[in-house]
A and B are shown apart, each in its own frame.
Chain A
């Protein structure tokens, strides 16, 4: 019995070390993922019917499609979050089984979910560490710092997560995914609810990851970002893939494949501008939200459609909530409607607020469409099974909601929830306040929403909406207010300003106008 020579041992050891180091840093240097004939049924509902897709390493692959086309379901299948009914998934030409998200993580597949799946009450560092194999706050804090520096994100490890914006939470989650060794990165509607600046940071991070050989899948319904970022795109409709394209994309062909028809853009009709005041803020201050409001004075008159622009949490939300009397101003005065109207106390039913979080703030998740309409109307003393059914059916037809009078609000898709909210607006409403009215809606649903809103708006009323999408503001608003750090930096008719001026104001790069 002879022992191997010591130098042999040592070289073996180094070989082992190299393999270890190599595999830790880069488990799958070039990862190609291939989906073959994926089916997914939820009971009788066919969510995916035979999807095949190939994503190459070092490329960004866009998946577009209208709401409910099956994009998110497909991605959740790929991360093991839900199980496929049939079909196979190949990673580097080897079939893989995905029973749980753990399997996917170990294979280097990670997903940035549309609603960040994180822990709001824990700190940034805790969120970064949760699910990791080791617990070492100091090391992880250093890693976090390094990654933040690399991508240009700014983050303090001790901050509780609920103080972060959606965009920052997303940045954190992205860094976490990179740290756990993700080589196939999936992003589901990553630009919903984040600012333009955060979007730029995100995109440059994605480009740098692509150049390192990651396979990136970008799920989106915004063609602009797909155009800016993706190397190729697949179009989904009704649970299957209906087309592929390489850069440069033919936008009309994509739209046609997404919707079967080309969506028509609505232009804002010219409106009679009265001079009657609808809403008047005088030196209003508030400490709510991230920035609060700092002595806001503004007057809004009949017939105006106001777009509120600004970074997340710059005061738009607080402004809307004070206008809707959901928050009390801490100082200053707020006057709604002209003095002669104020005698009756009907001003509350003349004001409507549509929140961005439709399901949790605007609707009652477990209640049906019929019950929502009954509640919004004068609710009868006794409700029989047939009470209000006719009205509900009419509303469903008029607002083209996909659902029955008995469908619960949480059973509706995002677009249909918005339609139901619109159906609940009382006809006498004169002041309509909206947070991000087309959040999560595809082009078609968004256009429909605007068409309806502009049609329904009474001549003696006004509409105020906040939106992260400047195009939306320029298209539909007659006047824009740009918020920065709780102040209004720019107040201008949309015809007198342009995209660049507003973008500058959003980032605080022009002087206050008042």
Chain B
């Protein structure tokens, strides 16, 4: 079994990579006080553009670039209507998610089930040969390495830089920022776009690496909603959001594993199990907020976070 532990852990790291991008992209956006509900559709649309561009150019890198631009474009539409025209971000986000999904299936149908380029694992010399951690951490494709790097980078940016402080301030109180000479709308637009680019990269990470290829279904459907839940689960803190993404990846891998161990149980149960478990975890965390007396709850309460105070609110400045 000890061989398979490192294999499984490597699997978790690889399958969670796109989720890390999507969830951290959404964290960046929500920390600035904007809810981007379009991400489930945006992931699918950028998975498609990423795959098609990579196929047309014969290289995966233009594919990733195209996917990031796609995600950013969707984010710009959202911020244009939601931030500058002051409309409901939730309504616009919902409309966008369905629009993007249908657009992806429609525009991508000629490329359905066709072969295309994909990212392969690039073992890092020496490090990959380390016992146990070598295969877990150093035998992946570049996008997985990028997901590892993104977590501390984003954390450092948010909590140890001037721009990160501005980002958090805007999400807390746009009026306060305006009074201090920080333009809240412009800041929100920038971080929604950056978050959108990360969400786009998540799409390409699916179609070019984790679940290579394009089709209907692609296999990344629904992951956007999980990413949204993870942001809440992680209390809007990048490190905890990433932890949540890995736990979700683990549940998915465990589902596959248990399927082999208990063949009598219908496989659908294992496929669906991560979702109710996720909800269950959210409920526990929520309960812990009200009952802080018992030590058990107090530990879980450490995981819970408070949403940015201005989240989803439109703000009018003169």
A residues with CB within 8 A of B: 79, 81-83, 100-102, 105-106, 111, 113, 117-122, 126, 129-135
Contacts and interface: CB of A to CB of B under 8 A. Distances in A.
B168 A100 contact: no
A119 B181 contact: no
B183 interface: yes
A101 B317 CA distance: 11
Contacts of B162: 129, 132-135
Contact of B182 (A118, A130, A135): A130
B309 interface: yes
Interface stretch (B19-27, B41-49, B169-177, B282-290): B169-177
A456 B107 CA distance: 71
B267 interface: no
Interface of B: 160-162, 165-166, 168-169, 172-173, 175-183, 306, 308-309, 318
A121 B182 CA distance: 18
Nearest to B172: A119
13 contacts: A101-B180, A101-B181, A117-B176, A117-B179, A118-B173, A119-B176, A122-B172, A131-B180, A131-B182, A132-B162, A134-B162, A135-B162, A135-B165
Given A119-B168, A122-B168, A129-B165, 12 more contacts: A81-B318, A100-B181, A105-B181, A106-B181, A117-B173, A118-B176, A122-B172, A130-B180, A130-B182, A131-B169, A131-B180, A131-B182
Q: Which 4 A-B pairs have the closest CB atoms?
A: A135-B162, A102-B181, A131-B180, A117-B176
Given A82-B318, A129-B165, A135-B165, A119 B179 contact: no
B175 A135 contact: no
A24 B165 CA distance: 24
A306 B160 CA distance: 50
Contacts of B178: 81, 100-101
A482 to B, nearest CB: 30
Contact of A117 (B166, B175, B306, B318): B175
Nearest to B162: A135
Nearest to B182: A131
A121 B179 contact: no
A132 B182 CA distance: 9
| Residue from A106, A118, A130 with most neighbouring chain B CB atoms (10 Å) | A130
Contacts of A100: 178, 181, 183
Contacts of A83: 318
A267 B160 CA distance: 57
A134 B161 CA distance: 9
Contacts of A134: 162
B172 to A, nearest CB: 4
Nearest to A79: B179
Contacts of B183: 100
A381 to B, nearest CB: 30
A121 B309 contact: yes
Contacts of B309: 120-121
Looking at chain B's contact residues, the main secondary structure is helix
A119 B182 contact: no
A120 B181 contact: no
Contacts, number: 67
Nearest to A287: B293
A124 to B, nearest CB: 13
Contacts of B176: 117-119, 130
Contacts of B181: 100-102, 105-106, 131
A111 B306 contact: no
A420 B146 CA distance: 58
A34 B254 CA distance: 72
B58 to A, nearest CB: 43
Contacts of B161: 135
A130 B179 contact: no
A500 to B, nearest CB: 39
A398 B88 CA distance: 39
Residue of B166, B177, B181 with most partner-chain A CB within 10 A: B181
A105 B172 contact: no
A105 B181 CA distance: 7
A119 B184 CA distance: 13
Contacts of B179: 79, 81, 101, 111, 113, 117
Contact of B169 (A81, A101, A106, A119): A119
Contacts of A105: 180-181
Contacts of B318: 81-83
A130 B166 contact: yes
A120 B175 CA distance: 13
Contacts of B172: 119-122
A368 to B, nearest CB: 21
Contact of A131 (B160, B175, B177, B306): B177
Interface centre among B166, B173, B176, B179 (most CB of A within 10 A): B179
A105 B179 CA distance: 9
A135 B164 CA distance: 10
B49 to A, nearest CB: 36
Nearest to A131: B180
B138 to A, nearest CB: 34
Contacts of A101: 178-181
A342 B33 CA distance: 48
B309 to A, nearest CB: 6
B165 A130 contact: yes
B180 A126 contact: no
A272 B235 CA distance: 55
A65 to B, nearest CB: 22
Contacts of A129: 162, 165
B177 A130 contact: yes
A195 B160 CA distance: 35
B305 to A, nearest CB: 9
By CB atoms of chain B within 10 A, which of A105, A111, A120, A131 has the most?
A: A131
Contacts of B168: 119, 122, 126
Nearest to A133: B162
Contacts of A81: 178-179, 318
B306 A121 contact: yes
Contacts of B182: 130-131
A166 to B, nearest CB: 15
A102 B181 CA distance: 4
A118 B175 CA distance: 9
A131 B161 CA distance: 12
Nearest to A106: B181
Contacts of B160: 135
From B166, B183, B318, residue with most partner A Cβ within 10 Å: B318
